[in-house]
Amino acid sequence: MLNLESNEKALYRIMSKCAICPKKCGSNRNKGHKGVCKAVDEIVIASICVHRGEEPPISAINGSGAVFFSNCTLSCIFCQNYPISQLGNGKKISVEDLVNIMLDFQLKEVHNINFVTPTHYSAQIVRAVLIARKNGLKLPIIYNCSGYEEIETLKLLEGIVDIYLPDIKYSNNETAYKYSGVKDYVEISRVALKEMNKQVGTLKVDDKGVARKGLIVRHLVLPGNIENTKKVLEFVVRELPKDTFVSLMSQYQPAYKSNSFKELSRSLSKEEYEVAVNYLRLLNFRNGWIQNLYNF
Ligand code: SF4
| Res. 94: pLDDT tops 50 | yes
Distance 163 CA to ligand 1 centre (A): 23
Residue 224 has what DSSP assignment? Answer: T
Q: What is the pLDDT of residue 295?
A: 45
Mutating to test ligand 1, I would choose from 120, 148, 152 the residue with most ligand atoms within 8 A of its C-beta, which is 120
Q: pTM of the entire structure?
A: 0.97
Phi, psi of 251 (to 5 degrees): -85, 15
Query: 3-class SS at 82?
Result: helix
Q: CATH fold of 17-295, please?
A: TIM Barrel (3.20.20)
| Res. 163: pLDDT tops 70 | yes
**Cα 183 to Cα 163: distance, rounded to the nearest angstrom:** 27
Mutating to test ligand 1, I would choose from 14, 27, 33, 157 the residue with most ligand atoms within 8 A of its C-beta, which is 27
**Cα 88 to Cα 109: distance, rounded to the nearest angstrom:** 30
pLDDT band at 291 (very low <50, low <70, confident <90, very high): confident
| Amino acid at site 177 | Y
User: How confident is the model over 150-155, as a mean pLDDT?
Assistant: 98
**Cα 240 to Cα 235: distance, rounded to the nearest angstrom:** 8
Q: What is the pLDDT of residue 102?
A: 98
